[in-house]
Protein backbone atom coordinates (compact mmCIF):
# COMPACT_ATOMS: atom_id res chain seq x y z
CA UNK A 1 0.00 0.00 0.00
CA UNK A 2 2.79 2.43 0.85
CA UNK A 3 4.63 1.77 -2.41
CA UNK A 4 1.58 2.53 -4.54
CA UNK A 5 0.93 5.75 -2.60
CA UNK A 6 4.54 6.78 -3.13
CA UNK A 7 4.38 6.06 -6.85
CA UNK A 8 1.11 8.00 -7.07
CA UNK A 9 2.63 11.00 -5.28
CA UNK A 10 5.75 11.23 -7.45
CA UNK A 11 3.99 12.73 -10.52
CA UNK A 12 2.50 15.49 -8.37
CA UNK A 13 5.92 16.48 -7.10
CA UNK A 14 7.80 16.04 -10.38
CA UNK A 15 5.05 17.78 -12.35
CA UNK A 16 5.34 20.92 -10.22
CA UNK A 17 9.11 20.94 -10.49
CA UNK A 18 8.94 20.38 -14.25
CA UNK A 19 6.37 23.16 -14.69
CA UNK A 20 8.54 25.59 -12.73
CA UNK A 21 11.59 24.62 -14.75
CA UNK A 22 9.72 25.00 -18.07
CA UNK A 23 8.36 28.42 -17.06
CA UNK A 24 11.81 29.66 -16.05
CA UNK A 25 13.30 28.50 -19.38
CA UNK A 26 10.53 30.01 -21.54
CA UNK A 27 10.15 33.43 -19.85
CA UNK A 28 6.87 32.44 -18.14
CA UNK A 29 5.29 31.26 -21.39
CA UNK A 30 2.49 28.89 -20.42
CA UNK A 31 1.97 27.82 -24.05
CA UNK A 32 5.05 25.62 -23.82
CA UNK A 33 3.78 23.95 -20.63
CA UNK A 34 0.33 23.32 -22.11
CA UNK A 35 1.94 22.00 -25.30
CA UNK A 36 3.98 19.45 -23.34
CA UNK A 37 0.92 18.40 -21.34
CA UNK A 38 -1.14 18.06 -24.53
CA UNK A 39 1.59 15.92 -26.13
CA UNK A 40 1.68 13.60 -23.10
CA UNK A 41 -2.12 13.27 -23.10
CA UNK A 42 -2.28 12.57 -26.84
CA UNK A 43 0.52 10.01 -26.47
CA UNK A 44 -1.36 8.27 -23.66
CA UNK A 45 -4.56 8.25 -25.71
CA UNK A 46 -2.69 6.76 -28.68
CA UNK A 47 -1.25 3.97 -26.53
CA UNK A 48 -4.69 3.27 -25.06
CA UNK A 49 -6.27 3.23 -28.52
CA UNK A 50 -3.67 0.78 -29.87
CA UNK A 51 -3.74 -1.74 -27.03
CA UNK A 52 -7.12 -1.37 -25.32
CA UNK A 53 -9.71 -4.10 -25.71
CA UNK A 54 -13.36 -4.54 -24.85
CA UNK A 55 -13.00 -8.23 -23.95
CA UNK A 56 -13.60 -9.15 -20.33
CA UNK A 57 -10.95 -11.06 -18.43
CA UNK A 58 -12.36 -14.02 -16.55
CA UNK A 59 -9.23 -14.86 -14.58
CA UNK A 60 -10.94 -15.25 -11.22
CA UNK A 61 -14.29 -16.59 -12.41
CA UNK A 62 -13.22 -20.23 -12.76
CA UNK A 63 -12.67 -20.69 -9.03
CA UNK A 64 -16.07 -19.17 -8.26
CA UNK A 65 -17.81 -21.39 -10.80
CA UNK A 66 -16.04 -24.51 -9.52
CA UNK A 67 -16.96 -23.68 -5.92
CA UNK A 68 -20.56 -22.98 -6.83
CA UNK A 69 -20.79 -26.16 -8.91
CA UNK A 70 -19.32 -28.23 -6.07
CA UNK A 71 -21.73 -26.78 -3.52
CA UNK A 72 -24.71 -27.31 -5.80
CA UNK A 73 -23.71 -30.82 -6.83
CA UNK A 74 -23.44 -31.92 -3.20
CA UNK A 75 -27.03 -30.93 -2.54
CA UNK A 76 -29.90 -33.40 -2.88
CA UNK A 77 -32.43 -30.71 -3.75
CA UNK A 78 -33.63 -30.82 -7.39
CA UNK A 79 -34.26 -27.09 -7.40
CA UNK A 80 -30.58 -26.42 -6.76
CA UNK A 81 -29.60 -28.70 -9.64
CA UNK A 82 -31.89 -26.68 -11.89
CA UNK A 83 -30.23 -23.45 -10.72
CA UNK A 84 -26.80 -24.94 -11.38
CA UNK A 85 -27.78 -25.82 -14.95
CA UNK A 86 -29.06 -22.28 -15.54
CA UNK A 87 -25.84 -20.83 -14.14
CA UNK A 88 -23.65 -22.66 -16.65
CA UNK A 89 -25.75 -21.98 -19.75
Predicted confidence band of residue 16 (pLDDT cuts 50, 70, 90): very high
Phi, psi torsion values for 71, nearest 5 degrees = -65, -40
pTM: 0.54
- Express each pLDDT in 27-55 by its tens digit: 989 999 999 999 999 999 999 999 998 87
Q: Which one has a higher pLDDT value, 17 or 84? A: 17
Render pLDDT for 51-61 as a digit per residue (tens, 0 to 9): 998 876 666 56
Average of per-residue pLDDT across 3-14: 93
In DSSP notation, the chain reads -HHHHHHHHHHHHHHHHHHHHHHHHTTS-HHHHHHHHHHHHHHHHHHHHHH---PPP-TTHHHHHHHHHHHHHT---HHHHHHHHHHT-
CA–CA separation, 54 and 64 (whole Å):
22
Amino acid sequence: MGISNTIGTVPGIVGNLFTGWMLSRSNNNWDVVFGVVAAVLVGGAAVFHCWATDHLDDDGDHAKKDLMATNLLDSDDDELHLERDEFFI
